Amino acid sequence: MNRPMMHVVDHQTGESDPAEIRRVFDAQLATALAWRESTVAERIARLKKLREAMLARREDFYAAFAKDYRKPSAEVEGTEFMPVLDEIRHAIANLKKWAQPRRVSATVTTMGTQAWIEYQPRGRVLIVAPWNFPLNLCFGPLVSALAAGNTAILKPSEMTPAVSAVMAEVIAKVFSPNEVALFEGSLPTSTALLELPFDHIFFTGSPAVGKVVMAAAAKHLTSVTLELGGKSPVIVDETANIKLAAETLMWGKFTNCGQICVAPDHLYVHESVKDRFVAECRKALEARYGNTAQAQRSSPDLTRVINQRHTQRIAGLLDDARQKGARVLMGGEVDVSSCYIAPTLIDQVAPDASIMSEEIFGPVLPVLSYRNLDDVVREINAQPKPLALYIFSTDNARTRRILAQTSSGGVAINHCVLHYAHGNLPFGGVNNSGIGSAHGEFGFKAFSHERAVLKSGPIMVAKLFFPPYTGFKQKLIRWTVDSLRLPSL
């Protein structure tokens, strides 16, 4: 039987009632305290209920995604349902192992004691999700939060109202508000939520908004996981499988219309293979979306930009690049009224073009040629650390060199985007591209407090170090300190 929906949204403003937000937050405290003692079986039962409720609304989600930004049902399956369901499957299979206290051995100064690490729920958590993958990036972190034993308040993006409405109904069917609640709205709702002393905040979005979230969390010393973004570069060297690289990158870039935090943002292609690479990219795009401008515009497989404002932003980047000398190799058509931008490749991009400093987050891809790999590494290191780095090469030594000389949240070699889906890898950024990790055990730990526990035995070695400091004790302490200089076996 469906749980009653909370009527907390002002239909004139579209914002949730701050008083109701506070009431639900306060009500979740008792649940959070009780859930500290929740068993693995109880947590798994919650995950299974969430999974079944999601699947029961499959067709409704298809319709909602089509309404919000014309997303094909196949992409809804592959980029929204699949990641969440795999996260649930992975958690159910491994939660017993993840949640088990972990014994640690004694050190020289703690001989005679036992010690272990226990994983406690953080408590009441806030999950703020973006619009580009509204189901995946809201329910995915929720899976980790529930696996760790937390209550949660969800804040989806106001830019995907149809999807948010279905998600709200799913949450209301599975959970009572004092367990998991979802609040719709824009900046005023987010502000009201960020004023509350949550035990953890999980935010996915831009670095600029991530700074706002981190500043709000600092007022309560709330821990944060920030999944941000950045300009993820690609290197295609002269040893790469050019056809495979082109086909893979055209998938990773233009899925979801390029609105992916780990989408290839710009490409460095060795000058000796650039023309061949561009030709293969063109072939791949024409095979997938049509070989004429009209065919591509009519393609049912090409997602739209989320709204007119973002369409204008991306069009502005493209226009600025053109004015500064960029050449359109393919695409370039823009229709702001229908939120359409054709799959676009450009080259000869000026270093001072805005598209080279602002995250594109859309279906425009600069293709830059290079001669010297050192120059590419220097350019990458001159920018904020990206969320992802992609290397297409069959030269293992060169690949290792790039890995050693650069920093990024994650790396994929001879592929792109796919590392996001690997449940045994940590997913997250570094500095400007994020703080903390998600997915699988890493997501479980993000929503858990790793509590240190030490238990002393009946013979307390430490008593030898209690005052008064006799001559014998001083010698013993000095001997112990000196022994720490010895190399480990």
Asked if pLDDT for residue 379 goes beyond 70, the answer is yes
Q: What is the DSSP string of 4-57?
A: PPP--B-TTT-PBPHHHHHHHHHHHHHHHHHHTT--HHHHHHHHHHHHHHHHHT
Q: What is the mean pLDDT of residues 254-279?
A: 97
Residue whose pair of structure tokens reads 């500043």 in the numeric block: 215
From the list 138, 257, 261, 416, the catalytic residue is 261
Domain boundaries in the chain?
A: 18-228+439-449, 233-428
The CATH number, out of the four listed (3.30.1370.60, 3.40.50.970, 1.10.40.30, 3.40.309.10), of the domain defined by the range 233-428: 3.40.309.10
Q: Indicate the average pLDDT of the chain.
A: 95
Predicted local distance difference test score (pLDDT) of residue 464: 77
Q: pLDDT tens, 174-189?
A: 999 999 999 999 999 9
How far apart CA 103 and CA 91 sit, in angstroms, is 22
Q: What is the mean pLDDT of residues 102-131?
A: 94
How far apart CA 86 and CA 72 sit, in angstroms, is 20
Asked if pLDDT for residue 3 goes beyond 60, the answer is no
- Catalytic, 158? Answer no
The Cβ of residue 340 has, within 10 Å, a number of other Cβ atoms equal to 18
Query: Position 311: which residue type?
Result: T
Query: Position 470: which residue type?
Result: T
Asked if pLDDT for residue 244 goes beyond 50, the answer is yes
> Measuring CA to CA, how many Å separate 380 from each of 67, 228, 389, 429?
38, 18, 9, 15
Q: What is the mean pLDDT of residues 456-466?
A: 77
Q: Using DSSP, state whether 116 is helix, strand or coil.
A: strand
Asked if pLDDT for residue 11 goes beyond 80, the answer is no
Asked if pLDDT for residue 160 goes beyond 90, the answer is yes
Q: Compute the C-alpha angle 211/152/197, nearest 5°.
A: 55
Predicted local distance difference test score (pLDDT) of residue 85: 98
Predicted local distance difference test score (pLDDT) of residue 415: 98
Handedness of CA 168, 172, 177, 179 (dihedral sign): negative
Predicted local distance difference test score (pLDDT) of residue 480: 82
Q: pLDDT tens, 132-153?
A: 999 999 999 999 999 999 999 9
How far apart CA 264 and CA 230 sit, in angstroms, is 10
Q: According to CATH, what is the number of the domain 18-228+439-449?
A: 3.40.605.10
Residues 6+ apart with CB under 8 A from 258: 360, 361, 362, 363, 364, 365
Q: What is the mean pLDDT of residues 255-261?
A: 96
Q: What is the mean pLDDT of residues 392-401?
A: 98
Q: Which residue has the higher pLDDT, 484 or 418?
A: 418
DSSP-derived pairing of the beta strands 113-121 and 448-456: antiparallel
How far apart CA 257 and CA 364 sit, in angstroms, is 9
Asked if pLDDT for residue 50 goes beyond 90, the answer is yes
What is the percent of the chain where pLDDT is above 70?
96
Predicted local distance difference test score (pLDDT) of residue 479: 86
Q: pLDDT tens, 435-457?
A: 999 999 999 999 999 999 999 98
- Catalytic, 281? Answer no
Predicted local distance difference test score (pLDDT) of residue 256: 96
Three-class HEC string of 342-357: CCEEEECCCCCCHHHC
Predicted local distance difference test score (pLDDT) of residue 2: 47
pTM exceeding 0.85: yes
From the list 15, 179, 184, 227, the catalytic residue is 227
Q: How confident is the model at residue 194 (pLDDT cuts 50, 70, 90)?
A: very high
Q: How confident is the model at residue 5 (pLDDT cuts 50, 70, 90)?
A: very low
